[in-house]
Structure 1
Amino acid sequence: MSGIYIHIPFCKQACHYCDFHFSTSTKKKSQLVEMLCRELVLRKNELDSEEIETIYFGGGTPSLLNKEELEHIFQTIFDNFEISENAEITLEANPDDLSQENLKMLSESPVNRLSIGVQSFFEEDLQLMNRAHNSEEALSSLKHAKQYFDNISIDLIYGIPGQSNEQWKENLQTTLDLDIPHISSYALTVEPRTALEKFIEKGKVKPVDDEQYREQFEILVNTLTTHGFEHYEFSNFGKPGYHSRNNMAYWMGKTYLGIGPSAHSFDGNSRKWNISNNTLYIKSLEKDKIPQETEALSISDRYNEFVMTRLRTRFGVEIKELQEKFGKKFSTHFVENAEKFLRDGLMRNDDGIYHITQKGKFLSDGIAAELFYIDEA
């Protein structure tokens, strides 16, 4: 089983914390959609005719697509790929785009899952982040979306400067009251060359606080697990039956095709990524050339990615599988280097399956990095 990721690189306005590739001008949107479809056709054989289990529209803001553009993309996909009968088809959406008319249109399309970028229900948080929606739209979009979709995920951000623990608890309680079955929650990260970084440097915004991160992460985990959510990946929580199959495919190392400017692809042995420039992407596809670079992954690269992704999930790293995939040298390296984390209570060994403990979860990326295999060369 494989997946298709489609990057829609347009937004109404730039969020202060975002470093993804996008444009606030939609003048070339219809032209770019045409080139997305051309790229799909040109690359239809890269997945070796595997059945497509997930389709994910990310961005940017995919909810800016109109009915005709969305239909054109779907028609191209279904004409050129074998799509699983029960494929998960997700579209990221901003609350301000989810009018009753748009929700009805999306519900009549192949889309069967919405991922809604709420981020916060507090007006001051949304203004600080320069989100295009307000708190009222955040609430109303979810209430309306539930009339058309059962499978809904929302994004929430914690660690926002000035956000108290009580406000964070209110954000979570609002989500619980709305009975949303999946939540993706991320710490606000200060990325280089973003507006947020400049505001912090100039003293206009308080620096993010590590202790606030930790406290609000613990509140997040305790609140959601108490209310029946499964913490199946570091940043993701789902009610039973509502885990993101698209995200799980990434973490389990399945192959996927990335379509559009800046999109990444993975075939098990190499990664490809498209140019992060809309104009150059269009010009190249007009000549039937795919503007991408390729990196062949060494066995060490693949081992490191396996360790990083698996330790973020509830599945952990199974030593038997690790040895089957990468050999004795790598499994021995993992076991020997994990010993100190076992002693410190940051990891546990459940009959040959290594997990990050609750104590170690907030340090999971650092722990994984300590377990990486670095080639001497």
Structure 2
Amino acid sequence: MRCLAIALLAACASAPLNESIDRSAILRVMSAAADWQLAHPSKHPPYDWTQAPFWIALNVFAPLSSDPQRYLAAVRRNGEENRWRPGLRPLCADDHAITQSYFLLHRVEKNPAMIEPALQMFDAVIRYPFDESLEFENWEKTWRQWTWCDALFMSPPALAMATRATGDRRYLDFMNRMWWKTTDYLYDKQEHLYYRDSRFFGTKIFWSRGNGWVLAGLARVLMEMPSDYPDRPRYVALFREMASRIVTLQSSDGYWRSNLLDPTALPLPETSGTAFYVYALAWGVNEGLLDRRAYEPAIRQGWAALVRAVHPDGMLGYVQRIGDQPGDTSASGTEIYGVGAFILAGTEVYRFTSAPSSPSSLW
């Protein structure tokens, strides 16, 4: 297995899209990945959680690209196809994720129709008690709570965006209550990592993409949270604590393996978790929350590893397929959420490689 992994990595390393971290190369490889995905539409429903990272990423990438309107038009078409609606299950965090792309486009185009369905849904959601146990049981009950760590990417940033769009703190306050309920339940305070859900308690199995969802979601919440929000320091402290642990689990080739504490169990690269970590760490440095000298090697090595997984035609490989625990990958394995995570990482690495600047303004 190790020989196969080395051979496959060598094959990817020979691709023209090399591991350079110069700014033009970053833009070029992001464009290649975005264009490949647009030319090969995902078969998942357009409102599905799997789609959300890609459409979020296109919003962020568009102003950096050579053709912003083309990418924003693609985001708009997806929203119009959905009629700007979230997913089909109002109480399920997964079905909130796509609305993040609507809120981002609304900031550019100021069309209230883009966010009205999301706000209507959230108005109903925040009235629901959410007072059940977080034990992972049957699927119907499980979806009514944030019982799985991925949920911390799917819903919290969208709720924070709702507050930013309307000025109504109820959405953010609800998110805050739910975030810490899930964190108190799933976060291992010794390992500084999240269990995917209660089925893994006692196993010390920590899933790379699951923790990637959390760290990226945490960064995205902080992007949207007002600077004077009372609990903001708790989120910053958690972000720093997780980041300091994650950086120690990176493999020497720049990837984070699917099983964070047992990388040899699944030795092939895994790009979706790696991309979420690079995204969050680079954002943390860019915002002054993480020390540049301490985290720069991990960011650079992680980005170089990600670029090595991009095929000559722009397809991102080594994306673990849909799952709920560590799993294997392949050079030809791709998914739209992995491409979205990769482009998000690229946008922050692009900022990272520019001259150090002031953190983005907080409203």
Higher normalized strand content (fraction of residues):
1
Higher relative contact order (CA 8 A, sep 6+): 2
Larger radius of gyration: 1
Higher normalized helix content (fraction of residues):
2
The reply to whether TM is greater than 0.5 is no
**TM-score, length of structure 2 as denominator length:** 0.29
